[in-house]
Amino acid sequence: MKYWVSVASKDHVKTGIIEGIAQSCHGKADPLKRMKKGDFVVFYSGKQTLGKPEKCQEFTALGKVLDDEIYPFQVSEDFCPSRRNVEFSQSKDTSIIPLIDDLYFIQNKKSWGYPFRFGFFEINKHDFDLISSQMLRI
């Protein structure tokens, strides 16, 4: 079992929750191929809305990968992203700010946003447990 962080704007994450799916890195299949059935994924939203400046800086969803299927989904004539099925847990949006000092994947605490530039990455169990313990405290 592995633990992943996927980065997307909060509006896109909330749509994914409704649809029960994960997309990553603007619909690329490669990040989704790294996940396996039973893995957990936490979604981080640096922005409230794609393309707008309003900050979010929260973990906005938590889910478990349901199967090993990656499939294309035609959103519009010129956009066909890859998707994965995810079962989302009931969770609360959680600010990253109070967690920064205790997250191992953030090595440089002054430049804490750097890891999120990759859009998708693996984290260790300690970090997942810390994040999920805050998100699941409803």
> Which structural domain, as residue segments, surrounds residue 31?
3-135
Say yes or no to pLDDT of 2 above 70: yes
CATH of the domain at 71: 3.10.590.10
* Run of H or E including 71: strand 55-72
Say yes or no to pLDDT of 74 above 80: yes
Close Cβ partners of 50 (under 8 Å, ≥ 6 residues apart)? 8, 9, 11, 12
| Per-residue pLDDT tens over the stretch 6-48 | 999 999 999 999 999 999 988 899 999 999 999 999 999 999 9
Close Cβ partners of 117 (under 8 Å, ≥ 6 residues apart)? none
DSSP-derived secondary structure letter, 119: S
DSSP-derived secondary structure letter, 76: B
Percent of the chain residues past pLDDT 90, beyond the cut: 91
CA distance 84 to 101: 31
Tokens of 21: 């799916």
With H, G, I as helix, E, B as strand and everything else as coil, classify residue 52.
Answer: coil
CA distance 75 to 12: 13
CA atoms within 13 A on the CB side of 99: 22
**How many structural domains is the chain composed of?**
1
Say yes or no to pLDDT of 118 above 80: yes
CA distance 79 to 30: 16
Q: What is the pTM of this model?
A: 0.94
What average pLDDT does range 64-90 have in this prediction? Answer: 94
What pLDDT, on a 0 to 100 scale, did the predictor assign at position 138?
61
